[in-house]
Structure 1
Amino acid sequence: VQAEIVHVLQLGSDILPQYKQEAPKTPPHIILHYCAFKTTWDWVILILTFYTAIMVPYNVSFKTKQNNIAWLVLDSVVDVIFLVDIVLNFHTTFVGPGGEVISDPKLIRMNYLKTWFVIDLLSCLPYDIINAFENVDEGISSLFSSLKVVRLLRLGRVARKLDHYLEYGAAVLVLLVCVFGLVAHWLACIWYSIGDYEVIDEVTNTIKTDSWLYQLALSIGTPYRYNTTGSGQWEGGPSKDSLYISSLYFTMTSLTTIGFGNIAPTTDGEKIFSVAMMMVGCK
């Protein structure tokens, strides 16, 4: 029973071959990729990767400035854990092309450098800390915010590790629900970004009354208003919580081809994106 539990919890199919039941002899600083510590660590990285996949698109699209100390500390801890993961990967065995467990330190380093090292390194850079400084140029801040999307490439590693669970029907169902929710979340962030980009014409400093953001603001009683005495900019509008919930609601109804029509695309950009989203949903 214990062996079955270990087999189920093992992330990935790269486990110890059945014909080799004894653990191979490894140098003291080398970690076996199927040991209990590495299995637990892989689950921690898996959870943090999903956290990153949710928060990074949200922070980029909603342009959240990381001034909240609690969130900044949390994101910094995640960055440190990803950095530790890089160090561990330089000292973790892997399965060779012939099914053998490779424990030679030089081969381990070369294999990691040729595969996931660059992506892992880019994913653990402290973009949020850089953006937290008030004197950072807006263009540089936007660049670092966009670079955070590189962290989503870690999902490639997650997909490779989770293929081990495709033999379990319940696990496949849970994975499909998670993937659907994640795709809907990403599309919701893009949907809001399109509306936020189009709702105000920066050239003429006028608001587009046909934008879905403007229509939503009117329907929930939080209209946009022009500040003529102060900043001379458009203010007001729905809160970010309402905007995200409305965006997620729209993408969910579009992907499931329900489409109630209370939130609908009106501008050309919104219609083009909606067509693309419906094509994704019909698959």
Structure 2
Amino acid sequence: MKSKKLYLTEDFSERESPFQSDDYPMILLGKNINPIHIDMLISSPRSDDPYASRLSQISASLSSNKTEKKFRCTKARGLFRRLLIRRSHTFYKIWSITIEIVLTYNVITTLFFLAYEYPNGILLVCDTMSMCVFALEIILNFFTEQEGKNSRTNKSFRSIAKNYSRGWLFFDILAILPLRLAGLEMEEYLLRMFRLFKLPKVMNFTDGNGLSYLLTYFQFGRREKNGKTTYSYKHKIIASLVKLFIFTIFLVYFLGCFWFWFQRLIANYKYSQGPNEKDENTFENAFGLQEVGSLRLALISSYYMFTTIATIGYGDYTPKNVYEMTFTFIVMLFGATLIGIIDGNFNNAISVYSDATCGYDIVGELHVWLGQLERVQGALDSKIRDKIINHFQNYSDKDRLKFLAKKYWEAKCLDDLVNIDQVYVRQLPEQAYNSIIQILFTDFIHNFKYFLSLKVHLKIIPHLQPRKYEQNDLIYTQGEEIDELIFLLSGRISIGIIFDEKHQSLLVCEKGRTVIGDYAVLTKQKNNYDYLSEEYSESFSINGEIFMKIIENYFPEEKASMLGMAVKRENSLKKLKKNLLATLETEGSSPLKYKNKVSMIMPRDNHEFAYNEEETMKKITRFMNLGADMSLKSEIILSQIKSRDELRDIFIEGIDDELSPIYLE
């Protein structure tokens, strides 16, 4: 066995040897650092070698079986890590979409094959291909990163194999057994029914995998750079409605298929025969469905099951023997209860969606209040009235907190700003209350996690208020005192300055990740730029004074990081503004007027002044006088600096002359 490469120096550090050998590794040892083969050094160590005992230990460890075994395990782990399929990888996303589509198709067709007719032709080819996909899935599951507890991922091969073996491995193998080759088609399709328990994962449209990831291409949810998918509160409600609707349809289809398979299964039983001991007293025979196509049979069976579980019972289709009656009784008993639960959840989801997206009652109360105000004060201006109504309409539509919102103006002390003061949630554990907040603002917490930590989010979210800005709305102007911190959710906000009464953009805010006004709020200074909404934009805002009270009194350590990001952006804006001013002045725009600055006239090369105009001449004379005064003052200052420098040099020379004899002595 060849020795491992080992580079050992007198200071026990590793150092590359300039002499490399393909046959033998080299060792660096001694003061001269001459390369010596490790086997020669170990076989004949010098008596004065201080490292002789250490070299013998190294030799023993290299020759031990445990070391070789550990080396092989390490090598195997390295190979597994290269083959590991990361959950954030594009291949995993595509494979998850493929598996969920194939799974949905396989479950639907398996029920159809079991109840109505066995596959043939193109259906048989597609069914065989889906079985091959599931067989490949079993292999890939051993090399796929698993999601563990506390959002941690499991990357250990042993742990992944152990978890999969204890979970779905046995059922996945049973579901791909080709029993039809032995003439056991019905048994094969019954074993495939284990895949029904995987359907809830397919219908979860907000888990960020599979079909839910595919929906992000249609703007249903947001795909982040780290591979995760976030959903707004509205999208989650819509997903729950769609999920309930699909589940109801699938339940009816499943019971219809199972019903038709069952009535065929008991066709030849004792109590299913007619008076003449002929097989006539069955659902299929009684209604003449023997010659009906499979698709029509599926529709009839589903229709009959729906009327049964909904307790409508038109009487056009009825059970015909004691077995069918028992089956129908069980379906009516449990199916009606299940449909009732589904309908209740469906109605509850619609109610929650209506509360979250509709505010007509609040707007109606606002109209009443405005009417009372106008009767006392007179008619309001139509633009002001529309602006008030639109503001509160948007507030009602986009407010996620509802009665969870905190009224900071009613706070009597600092603790009232962060404590739970609502009567109906005060008794909840803090963990449950925080979970509610996180569910309502999942997208907000994810988008602004770089700005605030989770513990800060949970304290300021109850103070958030929805805001909207129409196109060309000026949110903040230069020199204005900012009283609200704005978190941009959607739209396009431009940060810039006003030139020639036009907005010159310096920086465009990133959609869904920009905080506006943080520098002014944190430093308690006036705003330095103009914020213009270039398109319809939505945001959440929090009162700046309340935000600072919460941060300074409860999370002082967070203020430094927030201020650092704000100062960094402010410095970038200053550089951009300086470059923009230089560019515009170089272009010679006439006249250039910068808001809150002295107006200047920048002539072009071919521009002719109208000297006969009195106002123009006055401005030119005033600027010339100002320039002359500034030039005179600068010359005086420079002369003073020069004279002071000369006096300083004379003084230093005098000191050197006095001290030089001392140095010589």
TM-score (norm 2): 0.32
1:133 match: none
Tell me if structure 2 keeps the 8 A contact 1:199–1:213: no
Distance 1:34 1:147 in 2: 32
1:278 match: 332
Distance 1:195 1:119 in 2: 27
Alignment of 1:122-133 (within 5 A): 122-128=174-180, 130=181
1:107 matched to 2:151? The reply is no
C-alpha displacement of 1:60: 1.5
Q: Deviations over 1:109-133 (max 9, x none)?
A: 22222222112222233345x2xxx
Distance 1:98 1:198 in 2: 50
Distance 1:93 1:119 in 2: 20
Query: What letter corresponds to residue 75 of structure 1 in structure 2?
Result: D
Distance 2:139 2:129 in 1: 15
1:183 match: 251
Instruction: Classify the secondary structure of the residue corresponding to 2:85.
Output: coil
User: Unpaired runs of 5+ in structure 1?
Assistant: 1-25, 131-135, 223-235
In our comparison, the structure showing a higher alpha carbon Rg is 2
Q: Deviations over 1:164-188 (max 9, x none)?
A: 3896111111111221111111111
Alignment of 1:252-267 (within 5 A): 252-267=306-321
Bigger CA drift: 198-207 or 178-187?
Answer: 198-207
Alignment of 1:116-265 (within 5 A): 116-128=168-180, 130=181, 136-137=182-183, 140-155=184-199, 158=202, 164=207, 168-198=236-266, 206-209=278-281, 211-217=282-288, 237-265=291-319
Query: What letter corresponds to residue 264 of structure 2 in structure 1?
Result: D
C-alpha displacement of 1:34: 3.1
Tell me if structure 2 keeps the 8 A contact 1:212–1:266: yes
User: Unpaired runs of 5+ in structure 2?
Assistant: 1-79, 213-230, 341-665
Distance 1:147 1:205 in 2: 34
Distance 1:265 1:85 in 2: 42
Q: Deviations over 1:60-85 (max 9, x none)?
A: 222x233x231111011101111111
Tell me if structure 2 keeps the 8 A contact 1:119–1:154: no
Tell me if structure 1 keeps the 8 A contact 2:114–2:261: no
C-alpha displacement of 1:156: 5.9
Instruction: Classify the secondary structure of the residue corresponding to 2:83.
Output: coil
Distance 1:187 1:194 in 2: 10
Evaluate the alpha carbon distance shift between residue 154 and residue 205 of structure 1 in structure 2; reply closer, same or farther with a 3 A threshold.
farther
1:54 match: 108
Distance 2:194 2:179 in 1: 11
Evaluate the alpha carbon distance shift between residue 200 and residue 102 of structure 1 in structure 2; reply closer, same or farther with a 3 A threshold.
closer
Distance 1:257 1:41 in 2: 42
Evaluate the alpha carbon distance shift between residue 115 and residue 207 of structure 1 in structure 2; reply closer, same or farther with a 3 A threshold.
closer
C-alpha displacement of 1:90: 0.7
C-alpha displacement of 1:36: 2.6
2:146 match: 94
C-alpha displacement of 1:262: 0.9
1:29 matched to 2:83? The reply is yes
Query: What letter corresponds to residue 194 of structure 1 in structure 2?
Result: F
C-alpha displacement of 1:31: 1.1
Query: What letter corresponds to residue 104 of structure 1 in structure 2?
Result: S
Distance 1:155 1:169 in 2: 20
Percent identity over the alignment is 22
Tell me if structure 1 keeps the 8 A contact 2:177–2:188: no
Instruction: Classify the secondary structure of the residue corresponding to 1:277.
Output: helix
